[in-house]
A and B are shown apart, each in its own frame.
Chain A
């Protein structure tokens, strides 16, 4: 080899390479026939633990209420061996409510992770960008102007979220959508929609206004199977869309130019994933109201646990579900059944978390 430069400090052979890679936790999994995957052991463990935590909290939550049921009986009933009284309470009342909680949390966690990654900004979550407010506006229009029923409110919220999502996308579009533009446009849209919501409430009569305010705190009270099925179907339909574009999203974190050079269809990936995130957030908000801060905090907490770059989609999804159910459990245990909407708890926890984050990051000199 002809070289005129000073010798590089490359460690010879593969030993140095293996030693240098030791701190990494990624493991390659290869199956004969050409299939190969890379699994980050730490991230995988985090996902498993979060699923266990979410399910455990769910079982305890099902047993919590005016008529407490021990965890063992809850499990027995879920596998179809409980007595008739418990069977009714669990299957008809509490299980669907907890499932709505898990699904709403998962949708918000995933939607938040997608938005934060696309906007390359930890504040680029649906609550900050005005999507939750947009869905609320849709619901308020139905409640205040039409005094509509529960289904109409759900549809109104869904429509409000989608319209807001489209508005943000087209306002932020300039030769493609870029991170900080998206966040700034979103904050502007959020301010406008919040003002509209305030106006709608002042126009409402007393009963409608009370109903509107309860809806806007975000709550799982009285949710049943009619909320579970549409959410579950939407989640399962969007999951493959998100999974198919997740690798492209990882590349997008290196900037549009690098992703483009690597063969990522940048604008297509971004549009599909933003569309999915808008649908997930709007559906979650339609089902439970704008539950505050889950979409903002879940991806950030997940990232700190996995210590892995990249959007951490699976971990954020599980973190969202675990957070929401845990917050509901805390609220039910501390204040009694159906007293305090879960949105209040997540709001308080999320606010504290955000402040902590700002303080800690400032000490590290990053903010």
Chain B
């Protein structure tokens, strides 16, 4: 049985229902990526998996128990989350920010142990921000800052790590940089990673397990090589495309159809029917 799963959950903000009777399994030691069009509920699902959103029906299970019923700090030692937007307090240094990831391991009488110091140093070394330790976070570039936040999540030392669009706002070089880092964490440390990504090609390249959502429903899940087809992309994203082999990795590479082949605007379905 997998450590983290959603069992028939209904997710809603106030009265607005995002997903109904949704069930997903996060395979242990996988790098699971959730993809889908805007407003398909992928970030909402991630919030539910991280206990930030309470399902109005159904349960999210962590190690076989309803996640809402577990003590907050215990969950925080098992499952980490890097949210989409995070605020660095004014005038905080990199070392201090990464150190805050140790919170669930600390108590009022155990505020900064030698273990804390070691873990924080390792987290900064793994993410390549050790030499920035004394710098102010607000002075850093977007790419560096994202690494610092990832370092903070690593310092939390959780076997499961959830990332909500970790590459948003980064340029292509830093996107790849962050994804490589995630792949390393997954491969070398055996952590289970769950990420929401916008870019389908990034998802297909890095994920070991892909979950495709549309309208709050799982359309397909599995290894990218098994499930990413032109039909699936059309069904999930409403986009005609070709799927070819990524020359670098052999994973599926989605190439959207050219504008002429897609037809224009409202005429598209008719054009498709005519052609066939």
Contacts and interface: CB of A to CB of B under 8 A. Distances in A.
A74 B131 CA distance: 54
Contacts of A2: 187
B93 interface: yes
A309 B113 contact: no
Interface string A225-256: 00000000000000000011001001101110
Given A37-B111, A261-B81, A263-B75, A254 B131 contact: no
B106 A247 contact: yes
A262 B131 contact: no
A258 B76 contact: no
A16 B130 contact: yes
Given A24-B96, A34-B110, A261 B50 contact: yes
Given A20-B133, A260-B52, A262-B76, A250 B113 contact: no
Closest 7 CB pairs of A and B: A263-B76, A8-B128, A257-B83, A38-B112, A261-B81, A263-B73, A263-B104
B96 A10 contact: no
21 contacts: A5-B180, A9-B131, A11-B130, A11-B131, A17-B133, A244-B108, A247-B111, A251-B100, A253-B87, A254-B100, A255-B83, A258-B87, A260-B50, A260-B72, A261-B52, A262-B104, A263-B72, A263-B74, A263-B76, A309-B91, A310-B89
Nearest to B107: A247
B105 to A, nearest CB: 9
Interface residues of B, number: 58
Interface string B55-91: 0000000000000000011111100111101111111
Give the contact-size bracket for chain A: 35 or more
Given A3-B184, A261-B80, A309-B91, A22 B131 contact: no
Interface in B176-218: 176-177, 180, 184, 187-188
Contacts of A8: 128
Contacts of A3: 180, 184
B161 to A, nearest CB: 10
A258 B93 contact: no
Contacts of A309: 89-92, 96
Given A5-B176, A258-B87, 19 more contacts: A3-B180, A5-B177, A9-B128, A22-B134, A24-B133, A28-B112, A34-B109, A35-B109, A243-B108, A247-B106, A257-B52, A257-B81, A258-B152, A260-B50, A261-B52, A261-B80, A264-B72, A307-B91, A309-B90
B86 A258 contact: yes
B185 to A, nearest CB: 12
Contacts of A20: 95, 130-135
A258 B108 contact: no
